[in-house]
A = this chain, B = another copy of it.
């Protein structure tokens, strides 16, 4: 049994970690951390857990926690995990950080986009970016895993094969993203009130969203050159789900066949990535509650561009599910253990 501690267990991503880990048969949750609800029963914060979880919420002492568990998940605001991690901690326990603290290799870029000073930049180099389908081998031996952001996970998986195979022009990439509201977290903010979000759609963080450099870095690795792209997220009146609609110019001579082959080359053996058939477009509802990413594309011969689409559940493959996928890799468990939920429809 893998003994697990969660710091930040009462946010939406933390709650999803609990939901998924409870059905993982090789895991035991030892620590429900939540600074805000300390000493309160976890099931009073999340009443869906009533009679399922009896534990109370604990504080965030990472050093104490490192003695008790095998792996710590941190689902906390930016800067927090980085302020807790030490060499001593990492010598005792694996850390999977769901925040952005260790995702970006260039600390200057991190500090510029997040507008905070990185408190433990020395661990950035060691941290492995936890996009399992791409970094699987490196992840197995990591001590510190930077679990990818929701938009970067979906964007990177959707575009990666074509960029890796050199079929699209990296300078032409535009990503138009749409997310459900749970991605904004459980904080009590006016902008996330029901009446403000419902029956409404808007773009936000246009040309300034913090996931932009993360996506650019990962896609840069795919094509071996610096990628600069447009990324525009939108808020959609639904609880869960991310849809990526991305555009790029096909390189000269690229055929439909070559595109199809590229997707199948990288994803035919991937349990969680489903390349749809025919002209079926990914829909977020078809993956809700599961760790799947559904991907498909359409070539527009009139413009020479390809439209690449990807859908996933932002709280599962975009956060908690992928974190557990990383944990499975770390502990030598089957990668899809505890993650075989069939999507919930309707």
Residues of A in contact with B (beta carbons under 8 Å apart): 12, 15, 18-19, 22-23, 46-52, 174, 176, 178, 180-182, 186, 188-190, 192-204, 206-207, 228-230, 232, 234, 236-241, 243, 245, 247, 274, 276-277, 279-290, 294, 298-300, 302-303, 305, 307, 309, 311, 340-346
Contacts and interface: CB of A to CB of B under 8 A. Distances in A.
Given A174-B174, A193-B193, A281-B206, A201 B12 contact: no
A198 B309 CA distance: 20
Given A188-B193, A228-B302, A230-B303, A238 B200 contact: yes
A50 B267 CA distance: 14
Given A193-B186, A194-B237, A302 B207 contact: yes
A314 B315 CA distance: 24
10 contacts: A15-B345, A46-B345, A47-B276, A50-B277, A176-B245, A188-B193, A200-B284, A206-B309, A230-B307, A237-B238
Contacts of A47: 276, 280, 283, 286, 294
B285 A199 contact: yes
Given A189-B188, A232-B245, A200 B283 contact: yes
B206 A298 contact: yes
The 4 closest A-B pairs by CB, nearest first: A200-B285, A195-B346, A48-B343, A207-B300
B237 A237 contact: yes
Contacts of A238: 198-201, 237
B12 A195 contact: yes
User: How many copies of this kind of chain does the complex include?
Assistant: 4
A345 B19 contact: yes
A41 to B, nearest CB: 9
A247 to B, nearest CB: 5
A307 to B, nearest CB: 5
Contacts of A346: 12, 182, 195-196, 198-199, 239-240
A237 B245 CA distance: 17
B203 A245 contact: yes
B201 A178 contact: yes
Contacts of A176: 176, 232, 245, 247
Contacts of A196: 194, 285, 346
A50 B317 CA distance: 17
B303 A202 contact: no
A201 B236 contact: yes
Given A19-B344, A245-B232, A283-B47, A195 B186 contact: yes
A186 B190 contact: yes
Contact of A200 (B193, B241, B290): B241
A184 B92 CA distance: 48
Contact of A192 (B193, B202, B247, B345): B193
A307 B230 CA distance: 9
